[in-house]
Amino acid sequence: MALQLRPNCEYCDKDLPPRSMEARICSYECTFCADCAENKLHNVCPNCGGGFVSRPIRPAREWRPGVSIEKQPPSAKRVQLKYGLEDVAAHSAQIRNIPPEDR
Ligand SMILES: [Zn+2]
Ligand SMILES: [Zn+2]
């Protein structure tokens, strides 16, 4: 199963197209921009408590048959935070000092 490649940052709603180098994802593919992941969330996913990694680029060009942005298009469904900003900040503060591998 391919990544959904969600179109925006859940926190600030910035566009994160498939070739963006700023997209960060957790293991459930909760998606944020690099600035929010680092400076707002401190590497704590507000939905699951896990950490983030850089979302890889999906090639626009079909370098191998059947695999490209055209063949597996990105999701168009924008996702918004489902928790309030104060809740998210408290959640991050509780978890941020625990290394991701110990969460
Ligand atoms: Zn953002
Ligand atoms: Zn998550």
Torsion angle of alpha carbons 35, 32, 22, 74, nearest 10°? Answer: -160
Residue 1 pLDDT grade (very low, low, confident, very high; cuts 50, 70, 90): confident
Beta bridge partners of 54: 24
Residue with tokens 């498939």: 18
- Say which ligand is closest to the CA of 45: 2
Q: ∠ at Cα 28 (24, 31), nearest 5°?
A: 30
- Enumerate residues with CB within 5 Å of ligand 2 (an ion): 26, 28, 30, 45, 47-48
Q: What average pLDDT does the structure give for the chain?
A: 97
Which pTM value belongs to this model?
A: 0.94
For 68-101, the pLDDT digits (tens) are 999 999 999 999 999 999 999 999 999 999 999 9
Report the Cα 12 to chain-centroid distance in Å: 12
